Amino acid sequence: MRVSDQLKIIFLGTGAAAPSLTRGLPALAIRRQGKIILCDCGEGTQLRLMQAGLSPSKIHTICLSHLHGDHIFGLPGFLTSQQLFGRHAPLTITGPPGLSAYIETIAQISKYTLDYPVKVVELSPDTTSNFRIDQFIVTAKNLRHSSTCLGYRFHEAEKPGKFDAIRADQLGIPPGPQRRHLQHGESIQIENRQIDPGDVVGPSIPGRVITYCTDTRPCAAAVELAQNCDVLIHDSTFSDLYADRAEPTWHSTSREAATLAQEAGVGTLALWHLSIRIQAEEETALLAQARQVFAHTILPNDLDELLVPRRREPH
């Protein structure tokens, strides 16, 4: 795969509620062609970005799931550091209602101003939101948590199929603008003959899909967001040992996440948001319990990376 075509997930913080020596608080980077979308911004995110070799200036959008502290307490520091370093590039931040008030209150109390453009988009929990971020169509839905918590589906735009230069020569299409029109999906006329894109351009290459569902009970919204995705990052706060805590705290076990992944037909399940109760030996059991249900399950550590491959069939 060409570097320019790579779609990569960097797991910055994979823990929950409070940091541990091995797992930081939730933050995840989606990197494509050098540009970065950040999902959540827990305390310590800036440090993890540096350790991962990621430039904060390349982050153009931050998608926040909800307003619990472990997911947003890294945001004020990120915003002010970008001001300190002279950022000029615009930044978009999406999240649930209350996000604007949170940012404004911190700014007022801390007496800081931001000279670079920051656009805050509050998404309604009562409807499905659809919007575009760079080369992704993004869908957001409310999950099942103790507060409004948004899950996100990032669907990369499809790529045009391969242009058949030999066939174009046979059809008498000269190099230049007419070939570009065909590559852009437009028909052309040559000597009173219509040539359609399908005559010289192969099938479109489907875009890849990443779904991010943190802090949730298994629910229909998560299944819809995860349907046939390439990678599902899903709340797996507890192992079977602590299963009795999952429902009252509005979280999921790794086994429940695996069951949902199987139902949704995903490619790979990444277990996410591990409780600080889960020690190293219990992590092995947590992963094994998920794999009993869904074999294509991984348990990322902080700073692990996952390259998302292209699938040839449509989603």
User: d(Cα 269, Cα 253) in Å, to the nearest integer?
Assistant: 13
Nearest to 30 by CA among 114, 154, 146, 115: 154
Residue 136 pLDDT: 97
Percentage, residues of the chain above pLDDT 90: 79
Catalytic residue among 5, 40, 70, 164: 70
The string of pLDDT tens digits covering residues 264-303 is 999 999 999 999 998 888 999 999 999 999 999 999 999 9
- What is the mean predicted confidence (pLDDT) over 55-78? 98
The amino acid at 79: L
Residue 236 pLDDT: 96
Q: Is the pLDDT of residue 94 over 60?
A: yes
**Among this protein's residues, is 169 annotated catalytic?**
no
State the pTM of this model: 0.89
Confidence of residue 308 (pLDDT cuts 50, 70, 90): very high
Confidence of residue 2 (pLDDT cuts 50, 70, 90): low
Walk me through the domains of the chain, giving residue ranges and CATH numbers.
3-159+205-307 (3.60.15.10), 165-200 (no CATH)
- Residue 19: CB partners within 8 Å, gap ≥ 6? 13, 25, 43, 44
- What is the mean predicted confidence (pLDDT) over 88-109? 97
170-173 long-range CB contacts below 8 Å, 24 or more apart?
171/195, 171/199, 171/200, 173/200
Confidence of residue 3 (pLDDT cuts 50, 70, 90): low
Residue 313 pLDDT: 54
